[in-house]
Structure 1
Amino acid sequence: MSTTPRLNLPLIAASQAQKEVTHNEALARLDALAHLVFLDRDLTTPPAATDGDTYLVAPSATGDWTGQDGAIASFADGFWTFHAPVTGLLAFIADEGTLAVFTAAGWRDYGALLSQVATVSQSPSGAESRMCTVEEEVTLSGATALTSIVIPDRAIVFGVSTRTTTAITGAASYDCGIAGEVSKFGGSLGIAAGATNAGVIGPQAFYADTPVQLTANGGAFTGGAVKVVLHYFLPVVPGS
């Protein structure tokens, strides 16, 4: 046997000359595959790269990646080296902040890592179940303030939480809700910096994109800021 059975690392033979060549090749392969990090998995054209950069080659690759669809491409010493993935190989997808594992069915996502939107399960046709924790800091002015982030159509909302990040002026308190239900997620909330509220509800399904509304009590907002966080589940329909 001249290579290891799983990662295909070259072995040094008895009485072999220039053993350092084989040893260094094995170390380079191990450096690429151990604690594997893909900078991107959607590229078909090799990007400008520095030593240690590693990519998963997308289908229909061109240039130096031609014929290497699905391979692990690692750059070192001015050249690309290609490796075949093995079952059970775990990779971090850096530009997506997610983990993927190589299985008999190919690479399978295993959810985002502490990201705002995490896929917790996925069907073979691309349907997904997503848990979402999305935030925005809202600067306050006037009688009401709306978030630019929205509760998405078909989301199931568990709650909206808030933190007063900059002391609020002009109002004695504020409500957190939506148009028509101004205190749905909390009423008479604190204006001092550091005041918080966990505005849990139902849960409840929403059937249109809906911004969160902050409403001033006892006067209009003349200053201050509130961090608003949406907590919801979002189903994604099959892609095929």
Structure 2
Amino acid sequence: MSETTPLLALPLLAAAQAQKHVTHNEALLQLDALAQLAVIDRVHTTPPGGAVAGDRYLIAPGAGGDWAGRDGQIALLDGGWTFLVPRAGWRLFVAAERTTLVHTGAGWADLLAGTPSGGTVALRAVEQELVLSGAFVTSSIVIPDRAICLAVASRTVQAVTGATAYEVGIAGDTSKFGGLLSVAVGASNVGVIGPQAFYAATPLRVSALGGAFTGGRVRLVLFFLAFGI
């Protein structure tokens, strides 16, 4: 008989085992970590400072130190570090990104659907906060090549000065995702478009209206479908 369960690898009690509570408690702790599986983030390759009991992390590629050789596993702090080895079909919430991942058997992915040979489709949202200056500001957020753009949302997070309004778009279509947007703090817009395919990497742009930007901050969120072969 195996010493662990076949799916979650929880430790099993042995016949006539002494100190049964130790094995039982170990299994409960692992089950507690796996139920409603969520991690703090997926950026660390070594244990972060300040971690407390119960913290969970998805170990990033290139792990070292106490996490060496554990890339892609779940690290649970419980006295020491315990490692949970994922299997195909596991779902995981990354709190820092508000993103849900699924394990394909080969690794973690944010896919909506896939094919046996690796074709994927994923719904993605990325954000950036821009400091405004001059006639326009180009974001490092880029609509990827061969992606389908759905919308771009914007919010004024610090009062805009210099301009009387602004617009959100791309080069050549500067109000594609919203025009005459308010410079007041808290003003927001969701610029929904008919799903549009892009065939080159295309940066977003915030353009000033009624004068050049002299200050302010605007947060952008890009929503798009991405495809993998």
TM-score, scaled to structure 1: 0.66
Q: Please give the secondary structure, in 2, of the residue aligned with 1:119.
A: coil
Q: Please give the secondary structure, in 1, of the residue aligned with 2:176.
A: strand
C-alpha contact 1:164 1:193 (8 A) present in aligned 2: yes
The reply on whether 1:27 has 2:28 as its aligned counterpart is no
Q: What are the residue-to-residue correspondences of 1:181-200 with 2, within 5 Å? A: 181-200=173-192
Q: Distance in 2 between matches of 1:93 and 1:163?
A: 24
Of residues 181, 205, 212, the one that matches 1:213 is 205
Distance 1:211 1:32, change over 3 A: same
- The residue aligned with 1:121 is 113
Deviation of 1:229 (Å): 1.0
- The residue aligned with 1:175 is 167
Q: Distance in 2 between matches of 1:164 and 1:130?
A: 28
Distance 1:30 1:56, change over 3 A: farther
Q: Please give the secondary structure, in 2, of the residue aligned with 1:25.
A: helix
Q: Distance in 2 between matches of 1:172 and 1:100?
A: 45
Distance 1:166 1:54, change over 3 A: closer
Distance 1:136 1:56, change over 3 A: closer
The aligned length equals: 217
C-alpha contact 1:171 1:216 (8 A) present in aligned 2: yes
The reply on whether 1:147 has 2:147 as its aligned counterpart is no
Deviation of 1:22 (Å): 2.5
Distance 1:128 1:90, change over 3 A: closer
Distance 1:82 1:221, change over 3 A: closer
For 1:124-174, what per-residue CA distance to the aligned partner results, in whole angstroms no more than 9, with x for missing partners? 222211111111111111111110111111110111111011111111111
Q: Distance in 2 between matches of 1:166 and 1:140?
A: 10
C-alpha contact 2:158 2:216 (8 A) present in aligned 1: yes
Q: What are the residue-to-residue correspondences of 1:44-193 with 2, within 5 Å? A: 98-100=100-102, 106=105, 118-193=110-185
User: How large is the Cα RMSD of the aligned pairs?
Assistant: 4.6
Q: Distance in 2 between matches of 1:198 and 1:71?
A: 37
For 1:90-132, what per-residue CA distance to the aligned partner results, in whole angstroms no more than 9, with x for missing partners? 766899965557xxx95785x6xxxxxx321222222211111
C-alpha contact 1:2 1:10 (8 A) present in aligned 2: no
Q: Distance in 2 between matches of 1:181 and 1:100?
A: 36
- The residue aligned with 2:221 is 229
Larger strand fraction of residues:
1
Of residues 3, 7, 12, the one that matches 1:9 is 12
Of residues 196, 203, 210, the one that matches 2:195 is 203
C-alpha contact 1:2 1:11 (8 A) present in aligned 2: no
**Gaps in structure 2 of 5+ consecutive residues:** 60-71
Greater Cα shift, 213-222 or 1-10: 1-10
One-letter amino acid of the structure 1 residue matched with residue 30 of structure 2: A
Q: Distance in 2 between matches of 1:167 and 1:56?
A: 37
* Pair member with larger Rg: 1
Q: Distance in 1 between matches of 2:202 and 2:166?
A: 19
One-letter amino acid of the structure 2 residue matched with residue 124 of structure 1: P
Q: Distance in 2 between matches of 1:164 and 1:5?
A: 52
Deviation of 1:51 (Å): 8.6
- The residue aligned with 1:63 is none
Q: Distance in 1 between matches of 2:161 and 2:73?
A: 58
